[in-house]
Amino acid sequence: MQNQQSASSGAAQPAQPATDPGFKLPGQESAPTARDSTPAPKEGASAAKPGTLEVAPAPPSVATDTSSRDLAIGGTAFLVLLVIFFFARNAYVHHLVVRRVSPATAGNAGWLMFLGFCFISAAAVLALVNASKFLTFAVTGPLVAVGLIALVAMLFVGRR
């Protein structure tokens, strides 16, 4: 290709026609360009006005099936989080007892914290395992709502 260009570089090149886009795909020499004419509407399709754009509807989102491997990884991550939350609960109860909160009240506040963290982490793990299936308002909304209510109740119970 370079040999052809260098050989023809000395000769004057003719100007390209105004409708030529400057390049052509192989086997498409006779295809009309966008400037030449508008494409004919497909059979069975409604005739659109020139200059308008027809948009096909998006295909419905299909919830993919979750593999057992993804569920096992998500379940393991959730169990690890539960262990971490249990130790955080014990530390929070100890902190409240040191601040002169009664042990029963501190224990209740600790369990509410554990419950709130569990519900919120369950929503997060389900969303990470299969977002198209579990990241819906019907699944995630109640989990997050109960988790937040438990955390707010933890703050009020721990104040007494």
pLDDT in tens, 39-90: 555 555 555 566 777 777 766 666 677 788 889 999 999 999 999 999 999 9
Question: Whole-model pTM above 0.85?
Answer: no
Residue with tokens 């109860």, as numbered in its chain: 93
Residue with tokens 């998500």, as numbered in its chain: 74
How far is C-alpha 30 from the geometric centre of its chain's CA atoms? 43
Token duo for residue 1: 């290709």
Mean pLDDT of 88-94: 97
Q: Which is higher by pLDDT, 139 or 51?
A: 139
Asked if residue 132 lies in contact with residue 70, where contact means CB atoms within 8 angstroms, the answer is no
Token duo for residue 97: 């007892």
- HSE (CB half, 13 Å, CA atoms) of 19? 9
First to last CA, the chain: 85
Q: In this structure, how many other beta carbons lie within 10 angstroms of the beta carbon of residue 84?
A: 12
